Structures are given as structure tokens and as C-alpha cells.
Amino acid sequence: MKAGLGLVLVAMAFFLLCCLHLSAGARFSAPSLVFDALFDHDPRNYQHVVVIKQRLTRLVVAGYAGAVLAVSGLLLQKILRNDLVSPSTLGINSGAVAFVVFGIYLFGLTGAALFWPALLGGFAAVAVAFLAAGLVSKGGRDPLSLILGGAMTATLFSSATTFAISLDPDLFGNLMGWLVGDIGNFDYQPLAWLWPIGLAGIGFAFFLCRQIDLLTLGTEQAATLGADPRLVRAGTLALAIPLAISAVCVVGPIGFVGLVAPHITRLLIGETGRPALAFCTLCGAVIVIAADIAARTLLAPQLLQVGTVMALCGGIAFLVIVVATLRRRAA
């Protein structure tokens, strides 16, 4: 598929899903009502308030989280040249959650201050995952062992999280949705000061796109073509981790967008170039918005957690990708 056509298609899908997201819910709102709520807002009309305060805010949060996680996943997959890595399979999500939970328990941190423990947790998780992978593969560079290292990291940190929660369950009563990954009605508040991180991160990703593409050719090739592999790799890691963390701080550990969106991108228009990056950004947003619609309507009026819906679909997608990768290697 041509990159331009792909971009147009995914943009259309994005737009359609946005409209669907605003009108779908426990009670369906007609498109005309949504239109009125957006452009001719009446603060005393309850349905207008629902559309703006409960659906538009969720839409923005879902779109942001999806876009940021997808870009983070694409960057990680490109620089590590391993199409099984993503923020969740490397354990970044679990690491961030563990550090946040301990930050709350030990120091009583709230709000904006939680970004820093989360960031620290993300970097710690990546370090542990690399260490574990190196030990599991005994110095070899098997891409599968990085995933195994990530899984061990995730188990380690989620055990720590469970331990902290079992110390004082009541303290974390309000956080249950966040712990499994969910979009709540007040999630736009942390987003209000976190969005610059996401914007700057995606901007840098576009800026560095050429260098990162060179790295996908392999370290030697990239060095011959004038990129400094170490610098680019470190810079991209320093970009991808805060991007993922900024999403985790808002919605909690929503996994697998970062794994699936780059795969869709690669399947449809290839992974190199800025159009692919733009495609991946929109694709991630589309996936999380779709998951949010599913979470709100499947068992309406009960809400499901977006994180669990994503984990279920994403786990199955991960299985398919793993089996496909292994078949290709075996063949």
C-alpha cells in the first residue's frame, strides 16, 4: 500500500472512531446532539454535559495514550531490531507502576510528583530486563531472550506492587482502575500538564526519524552511513521511555498498543520514514479509542476496564505474533 493512501485511510478511521466514541455509550446520542454539544454548547443541557465532560475527555485521554504508546513501541522495536518488544513486554509498565505505588505508600506523593518515580521505574525496568536477557541467553543475542527477561522483570515488579498494596489496601482504594489500566472521568487532569512531554517526544521522534531508520540497517551499516549508533540508541531510549511513562501516569499500564500498532504499520506501509511514524501514531490512537468504545458498550451500563480489554485482545495478538515469528525462523 502507498504510504499516502494508508495515511488517508487511518486518518479517516480515526475521525470515524472519534465520532462513534462521542455518540456511543450507555445511552446512544444522536450525531446531531454531539454536533450541538461541540459547537453550540448549552451548559444546562445534561446530555451536552455528558458528551463534553465524560466522553470528550475520555476520547482525548484515550487518543493521547494510544498515540504515545504506539510511538514508544515503534521506536523501541526499531532501535532494538526486535519486533516483539514494546513498553509492556519489556516490563516498563510494571516497573513504573511498582515505583508509583511505593512512592504513594512510603512518601505519600500525589499528582504531578508521581511522574518522577514512574520515570525512574521505567528506566530501572529496562535495565533489569536487559540484564536478565543477557544472563538468560548467556551472552548470546537471541531476540527472544529479551522478551523472557522482560517477562521476569514484569513478574518481579508486579510482585513488589502486590506486596505494597497488601500492606494497606484502603490507601489504594481509588487507584484500582489505574492499577489495571483504565480511563477514568478525571484522567484529563494529569494529562493537562503531561501533554507537553508527549508532544515533545513525538516531535523529537519525527526529527530523529532519519537517524533511527539508519540504525535499523544494523550497527555497522549505520556507522558507515554517518550515524553514531550508540548516541542514537541512547537518545531514542531516552525518548521512548518517558513517552510510555507519560501515558502510564495518566491511564495506568495499558499494554500491547505499543506492540500491535507498529506491527499493523509494518504490515500496511512498512516501518521506515516519517509517514510510517505518523501512521503508527494515528493507529495507536485508533486502537485505544476502539478499546475504550468496546469497554464502555460491551457490558453497558457496566464499565469494563480498558486495560483488561486491551490485555485480552493484545495477549491474543502477542500469541499470533510470537507464533508467526517462530514459524518464520523455523522455516
Which residues in this chain contact another protein in the complex, by CB under 8 A? 84, 131-132, 135-136, 138-139, 142, 144-145, 147-148, 151-152, 155-156, 158-163, 165-167, 169-170, 172-173, 175-176, 179-180, 304-305, 308-309, 311-312, 314-316, 318-319, 322-323, 326-327, 329-330
- How far apart are CB 312 and another protein at their closest, in Å? 4
Exposed, middle or buried by CB within 10 Å (0-12, 13-18, 19+), for 252? buried
- How far apart are CB 231 and another protein at their closest, in Å? 28
In the bound state with another protein, the residue whose beta carbon lies nearer, of 47 and 308, is: 308
- How far apart are CB 314 and another protein at their closest, in Å? 8
Tell me which residue has cell 500491547: 256
Q: Give CA–CA dist 169/164, Å, rounded.
A: 8
Nearest of 279, 246, 210 to residue 2 by alpha carbon: 279
- How far apart are CB 254 and another protein at their closest, in Å? 11
In the bound state with another protein, the residue whose beta carbon lies nearer, of 44 and 328, is: 328
Instruction: Tell me if 280 sits within 8 A of 71, measured CB to CB.
Output: yes
- How far apart are CB 323 and another protein at their closest, in Å? 6
> In which region does residue 182 sit, left (phi positive, over 0), alpha (psi from -120 to 50) or beta (all else)?
beta
Q: At 246, is the secondary structure helix, strand, or coil? A: helix
CA dist 117 → 106, 168, 267 (Å): 12, 19, 36
- How far apart are CB 98 and another protein at their closest, in Å? 11
In the bound state with another protein, the residue whose beta carbon lies nearer, of 169 and 196, is: 169
- How far apart are CB 134 and another protein at their closest, in Å? 9
In the bound state with another protein, the residue whose beta carbon lies nearer, of 49 and 151, is: 151
Q: At 225, is the secondary structure helix, strand, or coil? A: coil
Q: Which helix (H) or strand (E) holds 89?
A: none
Instruction: Tell me if 72 sits within 8 A of 258, measured CB to CB.
Output: yes
In the bound state with another protein, the residue whose beta carbon lies nearer, of 175 and 199, is: 175
Q: Note the maximum CA span of the chain.
A: 66
In the bound state with another protein, the residue whose beta carbon lies nearer, of 13 and 300, is: 300
Return contacts of 6-11, CB within 8 angstroms, 24+ apart.
6/268, 6/269, 6/275, 6/279, 7/269, 7/275, 7/278, 7/279, 7/282, 10/279, 10/282, 10/283, 10/286, 11/282
Residue 165: other Cβ atoms inside 10 A: 16
Tell me which residue has cell 494508508: 6
In the bound state with another protein, the residue whose beta carbon lies nearer, of 38 and 323, is: 323
- How far apart are CB 169 and another protein at their closest, in Å? 4
Cell numbers at 82, concatenated: 526486535
- How far apart are CB 154 and another protein at their closest, in Å? 9
Handedness of CA 275, 289, 318, 137 (dihedral sign): positive
In the bound state with another protein, the residue whose beta carbon lies nearer, of 2 and 327, is: 327
